[in-house]
Amino acid sequence: MGKAAILAIGLLAASGLACRRPAVLRPPKPVPPGTVLLQFTKVVKDPIDLTLDGVRVPVQISRKGGKNLWIRGLAPGKHRYFLSSFTLAFGPDQGEFFVTPEQGTFLVSFSQTFKAVLYGTAEPLPPAEGIPGVTAVLEP
């Protein structure tokens, strides 16, 4: 091994990058029964379009945005979701989850800024219909 390689390894070790633990995503507080928490990897400030079981659900976003999307009021059973935005990309952006009356569900979604509309402005979407009793709130 050359001197440059040994120096590079030494610099990595000194900076702490070589020994850093990977980030583990956990819910900020316990997820109550009948609730789904979808945690994003970075703060989301822009509007999100959420579809649950084929019905668009309005998402309330705090002024500062947030990383935690709390979905409350879902009936027990299997549900399908789809996330989209004009300025964000999600991974996964769709999937299935189970809601049980005994415990809450925790999911993680990678979020990245991605401007889908390259020229001009996007046409606003019609208001979401919503599902009676279901609320979606994006919190810090």
- Positive or negative, the CA dihedral 134, 76, 108, 129 is negative
Given this model, what pLDDT does residue 71 score?
97
Q: In this structure, are strands 105-113 and 35-44 parallel, antiparallel, or unpaired?
A: parallel
Mean pLDDT of 28-55: 92
Residue 13 lies in a domain: no
CATH number reported for the structural domain that contains residue 57 in this entry: 2.60.40
Encode pLDDT of 10-28 as tens digits. 656 666 555 556 566 788 8
- For residue 118, what are the domain limits? 31-139
Q: Which is more confident, 87 or 132?
A: 132
pTM for this model (two decimals) = 0.79
User: How are strands ordered across the β-sheet holding 77-84?
Assistant: 55-57, 49-52, 77-84, 94-99
- Residue 29's CB: how many other CB atoms inside 10 A? 8
Residue 10 lies in a domain: no
Encode pLDDT of 60-86 as tens digits. 998 899 999 999 999 999 999 999 988
